[in-house]
Amino acid sequence: MLVLKPAPLAKIWGDKALLDYGCDDIDGMIGEACTVCADPKCSSLIVSLTPPITLAEYYRMHADQFGWTGPFPLTITIVSAREDLSLQVHPDREKAKELEGLEDGKEESWVFLRAGAPIVAGTKCRKEEIPMLIAENRWEEIYARMAIEDHDYVHVRPGTLHAISAGSLVYEIMQSNDVTYRFYDYDRTDSQGNKRQLHLSKALACLNTELAAEKTRFEEGRVYEAERYRISSRRIEGKTEIENPEEVFACITVLEGSFLWNGISVFKGYSVILFPKEKAGISGRAVLMTAYAKP
Task: State the minimum distance, in angstroms, from the CB of residue 103 to Zn ion.
Answer: 18
User: In the complex with Zn ion, which residue's Cβ is closer, 158 or 284?
Assistant: 158
Site string for Zn ion, 190-229 (x = CB under 5 A): ----------------------------------------
Q: Is the peptide bond before 71 cis (omega within 30 degrees of 0)?
A: no
Residue count, binding to Zn ion (CB under 5 A) = 2
* Sheet hosting strand 181-184, strand order edge to edge: 143-146, 119-123, 162-163, 87-89, 181-184
| Footprint on residues 220-279 left by Zn ion (CB under 5 A) | none
CA dihedral 38→60→177→4, nearest 10 degrees, is -20
- What distance in Å separates the CA atoms of residue 252 and residue 109, rounded to the nearest whole number? 16
Helix (H) or strand (E) holding 62: helix 55-62
Q: Are 158 and 97 in contact (CB under 8 A)?
A: no
User: In the complex with Zn ion, which residue's Cβ is closer, 32 or 108?
Assistant: 108
Binding window for Zn ion (CB under 5 A); candidates: 10-18, 104-112, 139-147, 204-212? 104-112
User: In the complex with Zn ion, which residue's Cβ is closer, 82 or 157?
Assistant: 157
User: In the complex with Zn ion, which residue's Cβ is closer, 58 or 229?
Assistant: 229
Task: State the minimum distance, in angstroms, from the CB of residue 76 to Zn ion.
Answer: 13
- 91, with CB counted inside 10 A (0-12, 13-18, 19+), is buried
Amino acid (one-letter) located at 135 = A
Q: Are 249 and 274 in contact (CB under 8 A)?
A: yes
Q: What does the DSSP assignment read for 209-225?
A: TT-B-EEEE--TT--EE
The backbone torsions φ and ψ at residue 139, rounded to the nearest 5 degrees and listed phi first, read -60, -35
Binding window for Zn ion (CB under 5 A); candidates: 5-13, 74-82, 103-111, 118-126? 103-111
Binding window for Zn ion (CB under 5 A); candidates: 66-74, 105-113, 123-131, 256-264? 105-113
CA count, 13 A, side-chain hemisphere, 104: 17
Task: State the minimum distance, in angstroms, from the CB of residue 85 to Zn ion.
Answer: 8
Task: State the minimum distance, in angstroms, from the CB of residue 106 to Zn ion.
Answer: 7
Binding window for Zn ion (CB under 5 A); candidates: 6-14, 38-46, 81-89, 237-245? 81-89
User: In the complex with Zn ion, which residue's Cβ is closer, 77 or 88?
Assistant: 88
User: In the complex with Zn ion, which residue's Cβ is closer, 5 or 162?
Assistant: 162
User: CA angle, corner 188, sides to 109 and 105, nearest 5?
Assistant: 30
Binding window for Zn ion (CB under 5 A); candidates: 42-50, 94-102, 107-115, 183-191? 107-115
Task: State the minimum distance, in angstroms, from the CB of residue 201 to Zn ion.
Answer: 18
Whether 145 is catalytic is: no
- What distance in Å separates the CA atoms of residue 211 and residue 162, rounded to the nearest whole number? 10
User: Catalytic one among 82, 93, 157, 182?
Assistant: 182
Which one of residues 35, 43, 48, 88 is an interface residue with Zn ion (CB under 5 A)? 88
- Provide CB contacts within 8 A for 265, sequence distance 6+: 258, 259
Which positions lie near Zn ion, rule CB under 5 A? 88, 108
Residues recognised as catalytic:
182
